[in-house]
Chains A and B, each alone.
Chain A
């Protein structure tokens, strides 16, 4: 929709060191697919991150996958992983398929945009958290910090980003990508917004197992186990380690149903990985 309050769109370079001209009423413009989908009465200027081409959005090295935040969903989905032992790379396609939005949106929407939106159902959040991703953030003053994907999203539409701070780079380490993974998802309509998205990842070298829960909770939750847990242990952990207030309540699901499905899917995931 038209954003009538916007007075200026400024080209911005994703990799610039600093952006001193940032002020209240500014916002980063990535794909724009969320920004232009709802009224933005508080915004006056947009810094267009797509205006200046900055080369390849994805770099694959032995240490892992580096994704620029402006990488579109379509680019990520079409990237062919060269490392044969990155078993968890199958999650990339599955998470791209977990958008409510269809393929036309994938041509514009960015990986970083989905992460920064911090929606409980954001599938790029699920992907990065499950694979132990790290984000590089840069403040408008030029300070750089790295945070774990798990710590970035703190609630529905809420992240640790400070005003003007920008998500530049997403790194998915090879260690995470080498794990065996299984994903389960549920939405109230076919191919709709996720009500629950559960990913289990199993490190076959160490035996460690991690369960990542998104969409069902207002922020991502991860449970760690030294080995694949028994049903009782899993249920106990889900019940005791997830704050009951985190079960998300919105038109796409109820807290009770989400808690129930999370348990069911988590058990299923473990069965598959056992």
Chain B
């Protein structure tokens, strides 16, 4: 008798006793059943069990016995999409696509009543990319997008992502959606202590577990120190990390790897590893870590990059432009305030993971969830001293990144296991591991000093920032420098930025959307409101008076020669949009009751479109024999949507439609160098390379055609069918390809994109909030965002990026906080207690685009995936201050904090 029916087909396989339905279905090939949380909180694994939607990760597989299961793969027969799939496709109800199968299956099962309250009905389905508006539209069947594009006219259109169909059908191939013959599984033992030296590791019991193949400890690992941070140059981060170290510097640091035939055996092996620790003194906060006598984390074998290993200071900077002492004398008003921010986890729905193997030619292949396969490859070459020809790193689709995959955290250990065993090895982080063993946004303490004349003229901006880089220095320097950008959007004769990144025995901080700027911008934009209060002027008037204008240079600290240029200017438009939108609803009321106070606030900011570190990308475009094109780019797709823009750019230049171009990407074996999909460079660097390559190919084709037609190049035009000359001759693309083949030439061009000069993108965000002065609850009544990202290439996608960034920033400002206890242990390493925003927590944000065309960016575009994050937290704090009269200088703004500050001021 069959065990159960899956998507209409009977299956005789029996699950293991403690197996959950999720892994059982994946074992049977249904890879559309995703693992987001593995604890029943995110809904990515939703399937229908006898027609009822359930979380398959917490459903015992034995419960499916005799029942009928429908997964995303079986939602429809054949090629026709289910209406809900069609709605998700049309409304762009997805970005990375990892949550999409679960969203669609849940939405399919909703009653009409439930559809009337999606906040409640969909609370068991989390999306980290979209901010939910597009998903709501999809479920409710709304889509008003300009999908149609004409050949050569697809800039500014809502072109569908090339993978849209495979995302909504669950066919898209994500990192861990693969199994190989003889594949081993890796699990790690992580440190229970914040600071300890390993005296001995007893591996005997683990090696005796049936199925365990090998156990790896620090004694098996290479001795080359490296940094897990990914940057074009490895010299901007300290080499302070080992694949496996003899010293544990934070709770959760990986110490021992067990490699086994099954996940179960590896896990069992980990349970019986015995580690004998010598506990070392520990420090959790930067202030203690810099004090005399504090235990140094990296004194032994320090990289000279670390400025003061004895005091745990990774980087220390102090940059000033102008005469600070003199200007302080001139200021009529001088205020100094201290702000602080907390740890945020990226919580991409796909956890970290990679699969490695050594092929028949001896080449190490790594399939990974990374924002930069090329630099991951370089790191593996360096760590293991491998010839570049013998390493390949590639990415399939990635389930969200947000910067947190700008890090090598799995590839190195998988590589070590492959090299030791000679067999394929898979390592997938559990959700808990992703909370305790990956990276977080740097917690920061920021002191701001602003000085102004009575008339509001800003004279002085001083920012002092202390970042907690955690146990390792990955991104600790660059994130600190990035914070100085918060000084750039106001004119002031004197600017001063100082700061330091400090090692502590806590989870390492790393890259995350906004990268060091959200922290300092929160401080500066909060302080501008405080200065306005002090001066007795309106905060927005003060901003207008002092913000950079179209003809100003952007000066963050001093007016040194720089490649940052004002390629376009839309800050004034952004501020206008937000002010006008807030004014339109000025009489909006909060809930009734004296305890509710209503107020509004906004914040502005700018972002460089390329990071100060180098950024490069290569694109190749060629014409196939069948008259279609192929485009190669190194950039990975994790929902940011650059794949769509690559096709739009190539189609624009080649006068064709995106469906005539096949995209191949993120594979070091077939693509040219790409620094990576981070720092908002997707369009301005990687797509720029595509634009150049496609334009070059167009010229190449025209020259080739002109020769055959016997006419001048100027007389020829390329369209989607081929080349025609004004004299009447015509050659189809297929004919042109054939002629080229006979001649022995390739109709292919390769070009590189670079990130200099750098332009600037602007943003403004406004909120109207109601604050309950008794409970401390904040209700967002209105949320408005305006972005100046130059020419908007794909409005639907860009709106999605903004909404997603705003949602993530609302989480940062209000609900998310990775808490660490006194022993250095994460208190809430699970989705249930970490609390990213759900449907109900995300208000709909009104989105406006400034009307600008950039002189630097390709097709007039600027980057915009990160910068909408930045002004959200200060706008919220400003609105809460406006409502309550109380200034909150410490994130996040949680009800316990709000209540604590307000209860004394509110007479009941």
Residues of chain A having any CB pair with chain B under 8 Å: 1-9, 29, 32-38, 40-41, 43, 46, 48, 50, 97, 100-105, 107-108, 186, 188-193, 195, 250-254, 256-257, 260-261, 264
Contacts and interface: CB of A to CB of B under 8 A. Distances in A.
Contacts of A190: 119, 838, 840-841
Given A8-B17, A36-B40, A37-B39, A191 B59 contact: no
Given A9-B17, A261-B775, A264-B775, A32 B121 contact: no
Contacts of A254: 896
A105 B54 CA distance: 7
A6 B18 contact: yes
Contacts, number: 151
A104 B53 contact: yes
Contacts of B46: 104
Contacts of B62: 9, 48
A6 to B, nearest CB: 3
Interface string B51-81: 0111101111011000000000000000000
B685 to A, nearest CB: 37
Contacts of B430: 1
A107 B841 contact: no
Contact of A257 (B124, B125, B835, B899): B899
17 contacts: A2-B18, A3-B19, A4-B18, A8-B17, A9-B17, A35-B58, A36-B59, A36-B60, A37-B40, A37-B57, A40-B18, A102-B121, A104-B106, A189-B838, A189-B841, A190-B838, A191-B840
Contact of A104 (B16, B19, B43): B43
Interface stretch (B261-269, B403-411, B510-518, B879-887): B261-269
B746 interface: no
Contact of B271 (A8, A41, A102): A41
B815 to A, nearest CB: 5
Interface string B767-781: 000000011110000
B451 interface: no
B843 to A, nearest CB: 10
What 6 A-B pairs come out closest when comparing CB atoms?
Answer: A6-B18, A102-B124, A3-B18, A190-B840, A257-B896, A4-B264
A189 B815 CA distance: 7
B120 interface: yes
Given A2-B264, A6-B17, A260-B899, A103 B124 contact: yes
Given A32-B60, A33-B58, A193 B815 contact: no
In this complex, the interface size class of chain B, counting residues with CB under 8 Å from chain A, is 35 or more
Contact of B895 (A5, A34, A97, A188): A188
* B52, B55, B817 interface centre (most CB from chain A within 10 Å): B55
Interface string B176-194: 0000000000000000000
B707 interface: no
Question: What is the predominant secondary structure among interface residues of chain A facing chain B?
Answer: loop
A9 B271 CA distance: 22
Nearest to B120: A191
Contact of B122 (A33, A35, A102): A102
B800 interface: no
Interface of B: 16-20, 23, 38-41, 43, 46, 52-55, 57-60, 62-63, 106, 114, 119-125, 263-264, 267-268, 271, 430, 774-777, 815, 817, 819, 827-828, 830, 832-835, 837-838, 840-841, 894-896, 899-900, 903
B20 A2 contact: yes
B60 A29 contact: yes
B69 to A, nearest CB: 14
Contact of B63 (A32, A104, A193): A32
B816 to A, nearest CB: 10
Contacts of A32: 58-60, 63
Nearest to B894: A188
Contact of B40 (A7, A101, A195, A264): A101
Contacts of A8: 17
Nearest to B123: A102
Given A2-B23, A9-B62, A264-B775, A189 B835 contact: yes
A33 B40 contact: yes
Given A188-B895, A191-B119, A104 B124 contact: yes
A192 B123 CA distance: 9
A107 to B, nearest CB: 5
A6 B123 CA distance: 30
Contacts of B124: 101-105
B648 to A, nearest CB: 37
Contacts of A260: 899, 903
A3 B119 CA distance: 32
A55 B346 CA distance: 46
A5 B833 contact: no
B863 to A, nearest CB: 31
Contacts of B833: 193, 250-252
Contacts of A36: 20, 40, 57-60
B40 A251 contact: no
B40 A105 contact: yes
A143 B466 CA distance: 63
A37 B63 CA distance: 16
A191 B123 contact: yes
A105 B39 CA distance: 11
A26 to B, nearest CB: 13
Given A6-B18, A38-B39, 8 more contacts: A4-B268, A5-B268, A6-B16, A105-B58, A105-B124, A107-B53, A190-B119, A257-B899
Contact of A103 (B59, B114, B832): B114
B236 to A, nearest CB: 35
Given A104-B53, A192-B835, A9 B264 contact: no
Contacts of B20: 1-3, 36
B835 A2 contact: no
A188 B120 contact: no
A186 B775 contact: yes
Nearest to B49: A107
A191 B119 CA distance: 9
Nearest to A257: B896
